Amino acid sequence: MGGRRGDTREQIRKVALELFAEQGYEKTSLREIAERLGVTKAALYYHFKTKEDIVSSLFAEVGEKVDELLAWAASEPMTQARRVEILDRYAEIVRGPAGDLMRFMSQNQQEIRDLKPGEEARERFRRLARVLGNEQDPVADQLRARLSIMSLHMSVFLMGDMDISDDQRHEAALQIAKELLSGRPNNEKSAN
């Protein structure tokens, strides 16, 4: 496997996600991950003792980025422009490493439901939703805030069958997310 320790860990995580996507979390063994990487199981154990350790490290990486976003969001008063900026920043997280993790989550819902990292991810989602639509907002606005986040999530794993680029998918999802957050379509805003 050669290279620096961080590169090796990243390669293990990448290969593990590929195998989880191909055959499911439960049906993938550490031995298979090691074989795909061309290393011994002992070499893999040096970095990760269990599949859950691999998944936990993936969740931790994305969780840190979301926590940073939430801390930034809390640093100034909330305005509609700030909510849109939060959504833009979250969209970039989803576009990056979180996208592969979300695909994994959607394909392995049953298996990860009880894993601690899955619950922590759900709690971060709830915190982000409360930032975009706080409890004092009308219920419809709170729901729009949650749906704006979900539109970004769903574009990662529900549009794979569409003949569009990742950039097109991302931009369309972000546009819809912003429309939901504002409560009206973008073309309506430009007409006013």
Q: Please list, in sequence order, all residues whose beta carbon lies within 8 angstroms of the beta carbon of residue 2, skipping any fewer than 6 positions away.
A: 8
Domain that holds residue 36: 1-49
Give the SS3 label for residue 38.
Answer: coil
pLDDT in tens, 60-95: 888 999 999 999 999 988 899 999 999 999 999 988
Give the global pTM: 0.80
Amino acid at 143: L
Burial of 188 (0-12, 13-18, 19+ CB in 10 A): exposed
Do residue 33 and residue 58 come from a single domain?
no
162 vs 12: CA distance, rounded Å? 29
Do residue 6 and residue 34 come from a single domain?
yes
Burial of 107 (0-12, 13-18, 19+ CB in 10 A): middle
Domain harbouring 23, CATH code: 1.10.10.60
User: Do the Cβ atoms of 36 and 43 come closer than 8 Å?
Assistant: no
Domain harbouring 161, CATH code: 1.10.357
Angle between helices 30-37 and 51-73 (to 10 degrees): 80
Average confidence score pLDDT of the chain? 85
Do residue 45 and residue 82 come from a single domain?
no
Do residue 45 and residue 22 come from a single domain?
yes
Q: Average pLDDT in the 50-63 region? A: 90
| Domain count within the chain | 2
Do residue 87 and residue 144 come from a single domain?
yes
pLDDT above 90 for 156 = no
From residue 81, alpha-carbon distances to 16, 22, 67, 78, 155 in Å are 39, 41, 20, 8, 23
Do residue 140 and residue 158 come from a single domain?
yes
Do residue 172 and residue 96 come from a single domain?
yes
